[in-house]
Amino acid sequence: MATPPVASMRSGVAGVFGNLDAALLALRELKAHGYANLTVYSPAPRHEFDDLLAKKESPVRLFTLVGGLTGCALGFAYAISTSLDWELITGGKPIVSLPPFVIIGFECTILFGALITVAGMFLNARLPKLRKAAGYDPRFSNDKFGIVAFGGPAQVAAAEEIMRAAGAEEVNDV
């Protein structure tokens, strides 16, 4: 990884950790020092980071709920309205036979629920990301953890200190 161009004003630092505990220590310290604008990179989801970052419950679940309900309503509405559009009796069954329509409703619930959940994830996770993320290092998808801290020059310097102290293998400017 090439070192970033030296700038007089650096907006943040990225710590590269080869050790989960070191990364956790750094994160805990940074949090304790009041750093709010932190990004943690982890090759696999680690609940330890979540615990430390104390995030709010992800709103993705609401998307699921709304998607599911919409799908259900659309499924039923579709089946019922099209059946009524041209009334054809089959097998002596009512035009609007709800039991079979439950299946349509159900499948639409799942379909819309799933697709809107995915859409919700994309929205909330700010995907797709078209530009390079500041401080990202390809090793973060391999075997290194990363913490990127942003702030004023003083904060950044302090963050670098904290990271190095915690055991960062490298601390790079962003």
Partner 1 sequence: MAAAAPPMPRGAPAGEPTYGDVNRDIIKTLAPPGKRWFLGMAIVLSGLAFGAFCWALQLRAGIGVTNYMPPIFWGTYITTFVFWVGIAHSGTLISAILFLFRSGWRSAVYRASEAMTVFAVMTAGLFPVLHLGRAWFAYWVFPYPNVRGLWANFKSPLVWDVFAISTYLTVSATFLFMGLIPDIAAVRDQATGWRRRVYGILSFGWRNSDREWHHFMRMYLFLAALSTPLVLSVHSVVSWDFAMGIVPGWHATIFAPYFVAGAIFSGCGMVITILVPLRKLFQLERYLRVRHFENLAKLCLLTSMIVSYAYITEYFVAWYSGNPIERASFYNRAFGGYWWASWIMITCNAFVPQLLWFKKIRTSIPTLFVISLFINIGMWFERFVIIVTSLSHEFEPWQWTSAYRPNWIELGILLGSFCWFSMWFLLFVKFFPSVAISEVKEALPPPGREHGRGGH
Partner 2 sequence: MKRTTALIAGGTLLLGAALAGVAIARGQGDQQTAAPAPRWSYPLPPARGTGYSSLDTAQPGGPWPVLPGRLRGPEQPIFYRHDIHAGQYRIPCLYCHNNAANSWTANIPTVSTCMGCHLVISAADTAGNPNPEIAKLRDFAARGEPIRWVRINKIAEHAHFPHMRHVNAGLACQLCHGNVQQMPRVFAAQNVNQMGWCTNCHMRRGITRDCTTCHF
Partner 3 sequence: MRRRRFLQVAGVAGAGVAAGCGTGTPDHLLPYLVPSDDLVPGIPTWYASTCRECPAGCGILVKAREGRAIKVEGNPHHPVNRGRLCARGQAALQGLYDPDRVTQPRKREGNVWKPITWDDAETEIATALGAAASAGADRVAFVTGAESGTLDRFYDVFLGAFRSTRRLRYEAFAFEPLREASRLTFGLATVPRYDFASARYVLSFGADFLETWLSPTEFGRGFASTHGYRDGRMAKFVAVEPRRGMTGFNADEWVAPKPGTEGMLALGIASSLMRQGKARVAGVDADRLRAILARFDPGTVAEATEVEEAVIERLAREFGDAQPSLAVAGGVAHQHRAATQTAVAVNLLNYIAGNVGRTVRFLSSSPWERVSRYADMRSLVAAMNEGGVDVALVHGTNPAFTLPATAGFVEAFAKVRLKVAFASHPDETAELADLVLPDHTPLEQWGDIEPIAGVRSLVQPVMMPVHDTKQTADVLLSVAQKAGKSVAPAGVATARDLLAAGRPERDFDRLLQAGGEFAEAAPRAVRLTTDFARLGWALPAFDGPADGLVLLAVPHVGLYDGRGANKGWLQELPDPTTKITWQTWVEVHPETATRLGVRSGDLVTVSAGERQVEAVVCVFPGVRRDVVAMPIGQGHTAYGRLARGRGASPLALFAADATDPSGALAFCQTRVTLTRTGGRRPLATTEGSPRQHDRGIARAVAFTAIAAGHAPEEEHEALTESERTAIDSAEASQRRRAELGRYGEDNPKWEMAIDLSRCTGCSACVAACYAENNIPVVGESQVVRSREMAWIRIERFYDGFAGGENDLPTGTDFEVRQIPMLCQQCANAPCEPVCPVYAAYHTPDGLNGQIYNRCVGTRYCANNCPYKVRYFNWWDYGHPASDEYAFPGTLSWLLNPDVTVRTKGVMEKCTFCVQRIRFAQNDARVRGATLRDGDVTPACAQTCPADAITFGDAHDPNSRVSRKKLDERGYHVFQQLNTKPGITYLRRVIRSGEA
Q: Amino acid letter at 166?
A: A
Q: How far apart are CA 82 and CA 88, in angstroms?
A: 11
In terms of Cα–Cα distance, which of 60, 102, 59 is closest to 79?
102
Site for partner 1 in 8-27 (CB under 8 A): 18-22
Phi, psi of 90 (to 5 degrees): -125, 130
77 binds partner 2 (CB under 8 A): yes
Span near partner 3 by CB under 8 A; candidates 45-53, 90-98, 130-138, 150-158:
90-98
**66/118 with CB nearer partner 2:** 66
Helix (H) or strand (E) holding 85: helix 60-85
Query: Interface residues for partner 3 in 92-131 (CB under 8 A)?
Result: 92-95
Residue with tokens 């799908």: 71
**Spatial distance between the Cα atoms of 168 and 54, rounded to a whole number of angstroms:** 22
Residue found by looking up tokens 């995030």 in the block: 55
Tokens, residue 50:
């979540």
Q: What string marks each residue from 138 to 167 as x (binds partner 1 by CB under 8 A) or -?
A: xxxxxxxx----------------------
- The region of 12-20, 95-103, 122-130, 149-157 touching partner 2 under the rule CB under 8 A is 95-103
By DSSP bridging, strand 145-150 and strand 38-41 are antiparallel
Residue 6 Cβ, how far from partner 1 at the closest point, in Å? 24
Residues that bind partner 1 (CB under 8 A): 18-22, 38-46, 49-50, 53, 55, 58, 60-61, 64, 68, 78-79, 82-83, 85-86, 88, 90-91, 93, 97, 100-101, 103-104, 106-108, 110-111, 113-115, 117-118, 120-122, 124-131, 133, 136, 138-145
